[in-house]
Structure 1
Amino acid sequence: MSEFVFVRSCFMSSICLLIGLIAIGCGQTPPPPAADAAVGEVTLEIQPDDSISETIQVPDVADGTTLEAVMRMVEQVPVSVSGSGSTAFVDSIGEVKTDAGQGWTFKVDGAFANQGIGQTVLHPPTTVTWSYGAFEN
């Protein structure tokens, strides 16, 4: 009977370890781009709800750079990013801040992303369109 308990205990410990490793791996940030990665331009189209759209060119972005890193590079307009990696979030662009019912959403080359800015990897040349509006359910 004690052999059964030992085997069961080892099995349960292995399962717990496996679940923990999977959970940790799911939230990882992509690795930084390689030093010899190709570079290109990222175009940011910023469309506030009631203001004139603004276009910003970010040159020399390495292939594989995250959108979070690009947003932190922007100098032409104030950008506030909280968190980092899988928890990175754009709090404001310019004077327009995210609140309980409205905020910034983005598309990469016309397609909505299915992950956050810290996990969205860019492949320049590319266009990121930021739109401010009501969050949809």
Structure 2
Amino acid sequence: MAEIGPAEAIFAAPAHPYTRALLSAIPEPDPVIARQASRIRLGGEPPSPLDPPPGCLFHTRCPKSDGTTCHTVPPHLTEKRPHQRAACHHPEPVPRNGERPGRPPRRFRPAGNPARTGSARRCRS
């Protein structure tokens, strides 16, 4: 597990570089915002699940990998921000004034939650 915490906090300011890369891949329906957004493209090879590398499992693709600690010491899930834990030796900096790193700020709406999204459809079986 790379990161854990309230969805709003993780979407607003991801602490783990992998979480940040995943969130940058979410399609933006507003074309104006989509043109301003920058997608993070990860280099390197994904680690083998049959023979995982020592240290951080993400170090083979991480832009912040330092070549020493990341390659030898597995990171522990520790609190990087209030109520937000990440397994990373080099977490993302805390954004200033509520800005969202790499993407313009937008309101988070969890899928499938009618109270938050405004949709109240019922499925019949």
TM over 0.5: no
More strand by share: 1
- More RCO (CA 8 Å, sep 6+): 2
Q: Which of 1 and 2 has greater Rg?
A: 1
TM-score normalised over the length of structure 1 = 0.24
